Each structure stands twice: as C-alpha cells, then as structure tokens.
Amino acid sequence: MIVKKQFLINANRNDVWEVFMNPEKLATCVPGCKEIKVVSPTRYDAVVELKAQLMKLKFQATGELKNAIEKEQLTVEMTGKPLAMVGLFQNTMTVHLSDAEPGATMVDYEMDIQVSGKLATMGSKLMKGSLSKSAGEFAENVQSLFQHS
C-alpha cells in the first residue's frame, strides 16, 4: 500500500530538518506514540497505538534512518509487529523538504507499507483510512511545535 501526502509547515527548512532528525522530538508529533527509545544515532525502538475503526492496535516497532541528504531528503525504514495479534508490518518512508515560500517548508512524503498475517486481513481500505487520518494529525502536531517556540 502506497500513501503519498504533503503538508506545509510555517517554519524554515533548517528548523523543520532538525525536528525530523530528532526521533524523540518527532515522536511527540506521531499520533499514538506511547514511548520511544533511541538505540543509536540512526536507530530507535517505539511503541505506537493505532486506532482503526473500532479496534485499537498496539505495535512494537524499530525505525532506522537509511539515508539522509541534509535539509532535503531522508528515508526511514520501520518494521514491527502488533502486540496482540499475529502479523508484521514494514514501512519505508521517504520525506522531501523544499522551500515553499519565505519562512515556510513543504513536506512531501511517501510511505510504502506492507503488512502480513492477521493484520493484512483487516483490509487495506481500513488501514489506509486510519493512516490518512494519523498523517493529518501528524502534520498538525509538527506545525504546533513551531507555533509554540
């Protein structure tokens, strides 16, 4: 399943880049992120809860920064499993930052999400709808970091 989105942040690209390169700060923007542990400069473990219709799924996940072009692009690979059902997921997310207007940054991203096991039987429409909603909340949360600084 491919999900592509973009959103505008009213902050300069350098500041937005710093947030995206700081897993602990970025985790405060991820809807449902319950905990994060930085393992190394390019790797972290997280526990995330995702609400999908009438279900709440809790995941144990590991994220790894695969590549980064400073202040322009980064790719993160996240793998994990739900804690209460059989299944796995893998998500490769590529983020592009560009200047949109003076003092604003356009964030374009693409997620390539693959699921297996019982998680896959939930159906891509259900998962895609939940991910789209979470993506919108994420964008609002990132923007709020800059409104309060």
Model pLDDT for residues 16-54, shown as the tens digit of each residue: 999 999 999 999 998 889 999 999 999 999 998 877 666
Give the predicted TM-score (pTM) of the model: 0.85
For the chain, list the domains and their CATH numbers: 2-147 (3.30.530.20)
Model pLDDT for residues 85-130, shown as the tens digit of each residue: 777 888 899 999 999 989 999 999 998 888 887 766 665 555 666 6
| CA 129 vs CA 3, 38, 56, 68: distances in Å | 10, 29, 14, 29
DSSP characters over 65-132 = EEEEETTTEEEEEEEEEESSSSEEEEEEEEEEEEEEETTEEEEEEEEEEEEEEHHHHT-HHHHHHHHH
